[in-house]
């Protein structure tokens, strides 16, 4: 069981630590809103990783071949959603900058903790690389030990916990950034830069297929 715990932690950090479009959006979202919203968004990402770890453990080697026929549509759907989020973020930042809206009032209206959780959960679930990643790990471990439901449960929970700890660290960084860049110019620049990065990563997602 200890081996499953270590494997789950390493798997969770392995999929969570590379900084991509979702991580960039999480940091920017927390910087624009609050740590509470960012925490819920971070848990949404971690929940998706945990669900994919669970699906990979249950499905085993059948998952990777099954996901291949819909990989391209999922890539396109993910890219479209990310570009839409980037556009909304940029437009909101410009509107707030021009209107000099009060930060708290402007941030709470467009994003609640529940919505942040659901939105980041949905975005992360669109990424087929996550399920392929966990399926490959499960497949690689097959045959070395007898099936053990307790070990599988420990693996999934450890992967979720590892992913959650990393996503919460990103959210905390976003909250700190939000406190440092409190002026309207800093908030505008942060939002526009993060939007540009997200669009670039979405484009890379399509080009790298």
- DSSP conformation letters of 118-148: HHHHHHHHT-HHHHHHHHHHHHHHBTTB---
Going from N- to C-terminal start, the domains of the chain cover 2-71+99-181
Nearest-5° angle of CA 134, CA 140, CA 145? Answer: 110
Structure pTM? Answer: 0.69
User: Average pLDDT for consecutive 10-residue bins of the chain (209 residues)?
Assistant: 77 73 83 90 93 78 59 70 76 76 48 91 79 62 56 87 92 78 65 75 66
Amino acid 204: pLDDT: 67
Amino acid 45: pLDDT: 93
Amino acid 144: pLDDT: 45
Amino acid 42: pLDDT: 95
Amino acid 38: pLDDT: 93
Number of separate helices (H) and strands (E) present in the chain = 10, 0
């Amino acid at each position: 069981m200890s081996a499953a715990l270590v494997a789950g932690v390493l798997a969770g950090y392995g999929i969570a630590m590379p900084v991509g479009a979702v991580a960039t959006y999480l940091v920017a979202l927390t910087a624009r809103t609050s740590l509470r919203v960012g925490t819920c968004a971070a848990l949404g990402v971690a929940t998706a990783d945990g669900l994919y770890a669970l699906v990979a453990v249950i499905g085993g080697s059948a998952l990777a071949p099954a996901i291949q026929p819909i990989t391209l549509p999922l890539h396109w759907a993910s890219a479209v959603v990310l570009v839409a989020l980037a556009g909304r973020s940029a437009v909101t930042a410009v509107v707030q900058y021009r209107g000099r809206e009060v930060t708290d009032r402007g941030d709470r209206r467009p994003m609640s903790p529940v919505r942040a959780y659901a939105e980041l959960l949905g975005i992360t679930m669109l990424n087929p690389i996550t399920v392929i990643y966990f399926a490959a790990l499960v497949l690689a471990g097959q045959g070395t030990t007898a099936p053990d439901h307790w070990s599988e449960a420990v693996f999934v929970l450890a992967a979720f916990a590892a992913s959650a700890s990393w996503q919460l660290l990103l959210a905390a960084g976003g909250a700190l950034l939000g406190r440092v860049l409190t002026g309207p110019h800093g908030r505008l620049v942060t939002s526009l830069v993060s939007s540009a990065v997200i669009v670039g990563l979405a484009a890379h997602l399509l080009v790298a297929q």
